[in-house]
Amino acid sequence: MYHNKPIIGIVGGIGSGKSYVAKLFGELGCLVIDSDAAVRQGYDDPTIRQTLRDWWDDAVFQPDGTVNRSAIAQRVFGDKEELRRLEELMHRWVDVQRDRAMSAAPPNTVAFIWDSPLLLETGLNNRCDAVIYVDAPLPERQRRVKSERGWEPQKIIQREKLQFPLDKKRKIADYVLVNSQEALDLRSQVRQLLFRIVAGLPERP
């Protein structure tokens, strides 16, 4: 608990709809902390920019001086050491932004939602009062990222090999939300689950 408000972490596969689930929690009075958005803001920070320049010179910058995120992704993909030091740099930034946002939250905040792709990998789940796994079939996830990001189907599989296996994410999670075409209304699922978490009720057997 933080200021007597539960902290809820969201995990799931790429394209499962984690950010949409977080948005639904936000509509119910929760404060959503989006790690991806914080990372994007971090790339505008002068200290982080200088660190990246010290590591990789101008190779990861656009002509206008902004960070070229695609170039960074290409540089660290498949290189565990480069990926590790980039993640450490950005995680420190995100941690500071997260704490600031929570400290400034209005008193009527219902809960804090941590939307972080690496929630389990970084151990942030240990600071959560509940972890939710957003479940969606692989074909649906592939269709979504094809439509939204232009990814080919195989790219999800390649990226997820660098993350916790989905079966382990689901096993660690306290609750599961199903986000598929056949699922019941997702908004209703979120509302009911938030009530259960805030009320301290366990998951139904």
What is the CATH number for 24? Answer: 3.40.50.300
Of 50, 91, 86, 90, the C-alpha closest to 71 is: 86
Is the Cα torsion angle 17, 20, 22, 24 positive or negative in sign? negative
Q: Which domain holds residue 85?
A: 39-108
Residue 112's identity, in one-letter code, is: F
Contact between 76 and 86 under an 8 Å Cβ cutoff? The reply is: yes
Same domain, 90 and 118: no
Residue 46's identity, in one-letter code, is: P
Residue 205 belongs to some domain of the structure: no
pLDDT of residue 147: 85
Task: For residue 9, give every residue at least 6 positions away whose Cβ sits within 8 Å of its Cβ, in sequence order, or none.
Answer: 114, 116, 119, 124, 125, 128, 130, 131, 132
Same domain, 2 and 79: no
pTM (2 d.p.): 0.86
- pLDDT, one tens digit per residue, over 20-62 is 999 999 999 999 999 989 999 999 999 999 999 999 999 999 9
Contact between 131 and 171 under an 8 Å Cβ cutoff? The reply is: no
Distance, in Å, from the CA atom of 178 to the CA atom of 133, rounded to the nearest integer, reads 8
- pLDDT, one tens digit per residue, over 152-201 is 888 888 878 777 888 999 999 999 999 886 656 889 999 999 999 998 86
**What SS3 class is residue 136?**
coil
Same domain, 20 and 84: no
Distance, in Å, from the CA atom of 196 to the CA atom of 30, rounded to the nearest integer, reads 14
Q: What percent of the chain has pLDDT over 90?
A: 62
Of 55, 76, 108, which marks where a domain is finished?
A: 108
